[in-house]
Amino acid sequence: MRLISTLNGQASWPPPTWLMRQAGRYLPEYRATRAQAGDFISLCLNPALAEEVTLQPIRKFGFDAAILFSDILILPMALGQGLRFAEGEGPRLPPLETLSSLSLSAAPGIYAPVLETVSRLRASLPRETALIGFAGSPATVACYMLDGQGGGDFPRTRRLAYEDPGFVDGLMEIMVEATIGYLSGQVEAGANCLMLFESWAGIFAPQIFRRLVISPTKRIVSALKSRHPHVKLIGFPRLAGLMLAEYVHETGIDAVGLDTTTDLQAAQAACPPGTIFQGNLDPLLLKLGGPAMEEAVARILDSVKGHPHIFNLGHGITPDVPEANVARLMELIRAA
Q: What is the pLDDT of residue 319?
A: 96
pTM > 0.95: yes or no: yes
- pLDDT at residue 86 above 80? no
pLDDT digits (tens, 9 = 90+) for 21-61: 999 999 999 999 999 999 999 999 999 999 999 999 999 99
pLDDT digits (tens, 9 = 90+) for 150-195: 878 999 999 999 999 999 999 999 999 999 999 999 999 999 999 9
pLDDT digits (tens, 9 = 90+) for 191-227: 999 999 999 999 999 999 999 999 999 999 999 999 9
User: What's the Rg (C-alpha) of the chain?
Assistant: 19
Supply the range of the domain harboring residue 109: 2-334
Q: How far apart (Å, rounded) are the C-alpha atoms in residues 247 and 156?
A: 24
C-alpha distance from residue 193 to each of 3, 151, 170, 330 (Å)? 9, 29, 28, 22
Q: Which of 245, 333, 254, 288 is nearest to 19 (CA)?
A: 333
Phi/psi region, residue 183 (left: phi>0; alpha: psi -120 to 50; beta: rest), is: alpha
For helices 323-334 and 47-61, give the axis angle rounded to 10 degrees. 60
Q: Which of 280, 332, 287 is nearest to 310 (CA)?
A: 280
Instruction: Verify cis geometry, omega within 30 degrees of 0, for the bond prior to 325.
Output: no
CATH code, 298: 3.20.20.210
When pLDDT is cut at 50, 70 and 90, the band that residue 299 belongs to is very high
Q: How far apart (Å, rounded) are the C-alpha atoms in residues 158 and 203?
A: 8
**Residues assigned a catalytic role:** 21, 25, 34, 71, 144
Instruction: Count how many domains the chain has.
Output: 1
Instruction: Verify cis geometry, omega within 30 degrees of 0, for the bond prior to 229.
Output: no
When pLDDT is cut at 50, 70 and 90, the band that residue 90 belongs to is confident
